[in-house]
Amino acid sequence: MAKNLESIPRKSGRGGKAIARLLDAGVDAFARYGLEGIATRQLAKAAGVNVAAIAYYFGGKEGYYLAVVRHLVQERAKPVRDLIERIRGELSASRESPETSARLLLQLLQDLAVTIMLKHDAVAIASIFSREQLRPTDAFDVIYEGVIQPMHQLVSQLVAQATRKPPDAPETIIRAHALLGQVFLFRIAGTTLCRRLGWKHITKARAEHIANIIAEMACRAVGLDFRQIDSENTGGRDET
């Protein structure tokens, strides 16, 4: 485990319950107000604990925030980390070829899009992650090492193999960044999409349809044949 993912306090009994309440309440509080936008007393009230508990368990508000971000990466972002490991495993077990890499790239982008659009706490995760992109603190290293770097490197590797380009070339990394940006835009700016389409929310069928469009555009961006890859991969998805 990366060093930045360590150091969440672990206690049993009453202390463990207090820490769990603080971590869960901290996700919503920091997502809504940011590190500087909420006072320690308000954080304690939201978790239903004494204000002294934050200093006792985490050393203060900054330490509490770091622990919340570690909790996000370890627990709340686990479906994304599991997806990364699954695609890595399939890539390692397969014969390396542009066709295989293209198929896995398509699968990764589709599954990632559906996951982040339907995960119930994805809004809170996106809010904290977005703040760290715009105004990074020490917590950015936790997010980067735990989620961003592994995902970015995997997409870069798949793009490189699919297009026969070096994985560390600036063009490859920029293409990977652009592809991931398309996916995450649908979580960060999902409210705009729903307003434009007259939706109250994004259903599973709608998420799968969006994911299909994202994958098709991604294939075109790197010069791949979406229809051929999609038919080999999953046989297509419902467009409802």
pLDDT for position 137: 95
**Count of other CB atoms within 10 angstroms of residue 181:** 10
Query: Is 70 exceeded by the pLDDT of residue 37?
Result: yes
- On whether residue 207 sits in a domain, the answer given is yes
Confidence at 7, pLDDT banded by 50, 70, 90: low
pLDDT band, residue 121 (cuts 50/70/90): confident
pLDDT (0 to 100) of residue 228: 66
Mean pLDDT score across all residues of the chain = 88
Is residue 16 very low, low, confident or very high in pLDDT (cuts 50, 70, 90)? confident
pLDDT score, position 162: 87
13 within a domain of the structure (yes/no): yes
Rounded to whole angstroms, the Cα distance separating 4 from 147 reads 12
Q: What is the mean pLDDT of residues 61-66?
A: 96
Q: What is the pLDDT of residue 226?
A: 66
Is residue 114 domain-shared with residue 21, that is, in the same domain? Answer: no
Q: Which of 176, 130, 168 is nearest to 151 (CA)?
A: 176
Residue 137 forms part of a structural domain: yes
Last residue of a domain, one of 16, 43, 72: 72
Written as one string, the DSSP assignment of 91-133 is HHHSPP-HHHHHHHHHHHHHHHHHHHHH-TTHHHHHHHHHHHH
Q: How confident is the model at residue 239 (pLDDT cuts 50, 70, 90)?
A: very low
Is the residue at 238 inside a domain? Answer: no
Same domain, 86 and 105: yes
Q: What is the largest CA-CA distance in the chain?
A: 60
- 225 vs 89, which has greater pLDDT? 89
* Residue 129 vs residues 22, 35, 62, 125, 197: alpha-carbon distances, Å: 19, 12, 16, 6, 26
CATH number of the domain that 149 lies in? 1.10.357.10
pTM exceeds 0.75 for this model = yes
Asked whether residue 96 carries a pLDDT value surpassing 60, the answer given is: yes
pLDDT of residue 99: 83
pLDDT the model gives residue 4: 53
> Does 196 reside within a domain?
yes
Question: Whole-angstrom Cα distance, residue 51 to residue 232?
Answer: 56
Specify the higher pLDDT residue, 162 or 153.
Answer: 153
Residues 10 and 90 in one domain: no
Share of the chain above pLDDT 70, in %: 87
**Is the pLDDT assigned to residue 3 strictly greater than 70?**
no
* pLDDT above 80: residue 235: no
pLDDT category of residue 230 using cuts at 50, 70 and 90:
low
Residue 159 identity (one-letter amino acid): V
Give me the mean pLDDT over the 136-146 stretch: 96
pLDDT in tens, 197-209: 999 999 999 999 9
- Shared domain for 54 and 97, answered yes or no, is no
Instruction: Please indicate, yes or no, whether residues 193 and 153 belong to a single structural domain of this protein.
Output: yes
- Please check whether residue 110 is in contact with residue 237, taking contact to mean a CB–CB distance below 8 angstroms: yes
Boundary of a domain, candidates 72, 87, 108: 72
Average pLDDT over residues 102-107: 91
User: Which is higher by pLDDT, 29 or 226?
Assistant: 29
